Every structure is written in C-alpha cells, then in structure tokens.
Amino acid sequence: MTETLAKPGGPSVAGESVATTIDYLVPTSRINRRFWAPGKEFNTGTYDSYPVTIHNARLAEKPFTLDEHGFCIASHKSNIRDFLDPAELERYPDEVVEVTKALTGCDLVLPMSGQLRSPKVGGKGIQPPAAEAHVDFNTATAQRVAQMMYDKANPEGPGYDRFIAFSLWRTFSPPPQDWPLALCDYRSVGDEDSASNVKVDVDEIPEGDALYAPIENEHLLPAATLFRFSENHRWYYYPDMTADEVIFIKFHDSDHSRAWRCPHTAFHDTSRPDANIRESYEFRAIAYFSKER
C-alpha cells in the first residue's frame, strides 16, 4: 500500500491510500441519539474505531458517479469570498441550485440549510467535523422532509416522481486539510449494516440518565443513519481539495434502482505533516424530478 509521499524540502504529496481508523457503531448499541447544542454534539450510541484503508479517489480508473457510487466531485468556482460571513452566505443557495441541476438533471431544488465545520471550533455557528460513518437522513426522515418541503413550496404543483436528499460539500481552507472527507462506495454497503440515529436539538447537552430517558414522539424526530463495520466497505477521499471544487453526497435517492445513499465521515489524516486546519461548508437541499402535467 502506498502511503503519503514527501518531497525533501517541499510539500507532501498524497499517495494511493491512507491507513487510518473510522468510528463505527458497535453491534450491541441500542439507544442511538445525537444531541445537538450550539458548538457541541454528543452521541449516545456506542462506537469503536476500526482500521480502514481510504483510497485516493483522484487515482481511480474512472470517475465516481452519483448513480453508481452515490457521490461525485465537480468543479465550481463560488462567488462567495468569505464563507465565514453570514451575509455573503445568504447568496449561496442560488449556487447550490445551479450546481445541482447541472449534476442531476432535476428541475426543482429546494434549499434547506448550511453548516460550517472545523476541528477548531470557536466561531459562532461552527460545528466540529462529524467523525463517524453516517448518512444525515434515514429513509423515513428523507421521505417526510421531502414531502413537507414540496407541499409548502408548491401546494398546487404537479408532484414528483423522484427526489434526492443531498449535501453539497466544499472546503475553503488551503490544501492539504487535516480532516478530509471520506466517502463509502454505495456498492460496498449492505442494508444490514445500518441503524437509525435520532437527532435531538437542545440548548445544553444532557448528562447521565437524562441522555437515555424516554422522549415523547421520538419516532417523529429527524433521524440520521449510522453504520456498523464491514470488511466489504470501500472508502475513498479526494486529497488536496481546493475552494473551486464541490462534492455531491446522496443522503437518500427515492429511486433505489440507483446508488441511493452514501455513508461518509471526516477522518484525521495524520500522514500529511503540512496539513492545514480544515474549514468546510456543507449545504443540504432536496432535488425533485417533477411529474408531467
């Protein structure tokens, strides 16, 4: 296995793969919740770190595609000059719509919200990288959110035959980044590998038994999907991402004849001694393929 190479007196160069670990849900974990508070997150699920090899997607024989693998990379130069400026970010949903229509062929995109992430949490609205194998929605949440958003935006609309819940992810810190994004090839993931993880928004993270206490109508809360380790999982990443690149990640494609979800996670790449602190922005939205009237 080829690891990161180093040029004497120069910057490091990404190799064919990185040997690292990814946190997975252990098979015995039962009460799986993610409490979210400003600047903090806490998972009640029980995780363990498993050794994995993350392959350099830039060296693959052919490009990764949404319908075969569940993710893809694309070139996109943003007009946002400062991703830490909330006023500037108000213009970003228009860019998400443009990119999504070009990548998927959908005719309608309804924006949701964006999230800044960095391991150096300090600014307002910045969350740490999500560091376990996951997909942001489970099937029930994706279906509920897609229908609710469509009905609100298009009460008299024709309806839709298909939708894709997704994230458009980019980093705006210079390469290489210390916490890159790893993506799992959809074809390597089995349905039996997954479990739901309920998201609970709070002002402060509970402690002790309160973390596991019953929650009224918990089944109606939004939920993500967590994954248990499998030796079949095949992981990839795009090293040295620039601010002019985006990754499209499927959370849920209602057409299950295609790759319909993509497990992903941040991982700490300690192989790059010249790595910069990752700063990234991800934006969630729903892409729709409308019915013909």
- Answer whether 0.85 is exceeded by the pTM: yes
Domain that holds residue 250: 35-290
Residue 228: which CATH number? Answer: 2.60.120
Up-side HSE of residue 271: CA atoms within 13 Å toward CB? 21
Up-side HSE of residue 66: CA atoms within 13 Å toward CB? 22
Number of structural domains (the chain) is 1
Please give the angle made by the CA atoms of 21, 74 and 64, to the nearest 5 degrees.
Answer: 55
pLDDT digits (tens, 9 = 90+) for 175-230: 999 999 999 999 999 999 999 999 999 999 999 999 999 999 998 999 999 999 99
**Phi and psi angles of residue 55, each rounded to the nearest 5 degrees, phi first:** -90, 150
pLDDT digits (tens, 9 = 90+) for 4-22: 444 445 678 888 999 999 9
Residue 20 lies in a domain: no
Residue 55 lies in a domain: yes
Residue 241 lies in a domain: yes
